[in-house]
Amino acid sequence: MRTRRPAALTALMLGCLALVATAVGACGSAKPGQTQLVVEIFGDLGYRDLYTKYEQSHPGVKIVEHIVSYDDHHKNLQAHLLGGSGTGDIEAIDGGYIAQFKVMSDKFVDFRDYGADPGQWLPWKSQQATGPDGSLMGLGADVGGLAMCYRRDLFAQAGLPTGREQVAALWPDWQSYIATGKRFQANAPDGVAWFDSGSNIFNAIINQAPVGYTAPGNTVVVADNPAVKDAFDLAVEAVQAGQSAKLATFSQQWNAGFQRGSFATVACPAWMTDTIKQNAPQTSGKWDIATIPGGSGNWGGSFLTVPKQSKHRKEAAELARFLTAPEQASWIFRTQGHLPSQAALYDDPAVLGNTNAFFNNAPTGRIFTESARTLRPQYQGPKDGDIGPLIGLGINRVDKGKQRPDQAWRQVLKDVANATEP
């Protein structure tokens, strides 16, 4: 659950789309003389208009994009790599799974062979995609710098301040956030919860810890790292205080929760801003963005890779470099909210000065770049992508009243042990 990312447009999850200069249609074959490049992704990364731009300047290229659910995408990629066939020409990998695929870096092209400079990205971002042999197997698409999105109108109805600086002052830490939730509940509109789901609160808290599920050396430390249990306990404390809307993240009910105003706050990595906008366009101006409790953190962020199975490695590598280049990364952030993973852009006035009208003209450029600058990158292990959802399910069981916290935690430890045993 900690790094899962949705498609902003649910309809896109239904299959594959061929994106050409004049239309969006069903998957098809390239015209004679054209090279077809298949891009496999797990959510709307904001590339559709860029595909059109690229095809116009590269008439010999036709781009086909497949969007599959987050879990299925990564499972399919692993199966295709192990099976020796079936990958796309470009495969997106989420930050929670990059360590798992990094151990198979020999199955991906080294972007240094195609002119990529690892120094273009944040040092920790490039390191996450650097294989044991030193190869650069992934290009950083975005990072998920954390903030907190909140409903100004619901805050006002509950008697809380609405200005983003005042709101940030309410919750310097997570205990303060829970305490503010109790203040909100005392006068909240009927049927409105403080936040969407306990698992999302857990995600935000654990992503701020210096060490998460895995210690350097790839030792799974869920049972031994107090930060994991502390994050679990804080999320459960908020859940048991009745602050959760009990909505499974990225479910249809969760999407509808944005439309209905079912919750007042949501832990908000940069890419979440577009998710909220797409789910509930009628709430424009009612949302705002404040600093996250604890000040910074990272949830999500993705990479583009080119498997060696591709029959068009050179062309695919060129497209991946185009999609992650500074000009395109800046445009994606300004139009769709995905924060670039290239530090040089954090001083670009177009990025740093960006505001978002949907969120009451919040200074998203300043908020998210400051969060990204100050975050402490967390070591990622090969099993982290499997571990996070198991802990999220444990919190959801408490949220739904199916288990007591002690029971849920014991099952989490058992589930994690089973999922990570050699």
Closest CA to 393 of 413, 419, 412: 412
Q: Which residues pair with 94 in a beta bridge?
A: 302
pLDDT at 1 over 70: no
Phi, psi dihedral angles at 139 (to 5 degrees): -105, 130
- Structural domains in the chain, CATH included, are 10-143+300-352 (3.40.190.10), 146-298+364-420 (3.40.190.10)
Looking at residue 23, its pLDDT comes to: 29
φ, ψ for residue 421, nearest 5 deg: -70, 145
Per-residue pLDDT tens digits for 23-65: 233 345 677 789 999 999 998 898 999 999 999 999 999 999 9
Q: What is the pLDDT of residues 363-378, one digit of tens each?
A: 999 999 988 887 778 8
pLDDT tens, position by position, 91-121: 999 998 999 999 999 999 999 999 999 999 9
Position 348 confidence tier, pLDDT thresholds 50, 70, 90: very high
Alpha carbon distance 321, 304 (integer Å)? 9
Rounded mean pLDDT of 395-399?
95
As a whole number of angstroms, the distance between CA 286 and CA 152 comes to 6
Q: Which residue in 241, 282, 253 sits closest to 153, CA to CA?
A: 282
Give the single-character DSSP code of 362.
B
Q: What is the pTM of this model?
A: 0.89
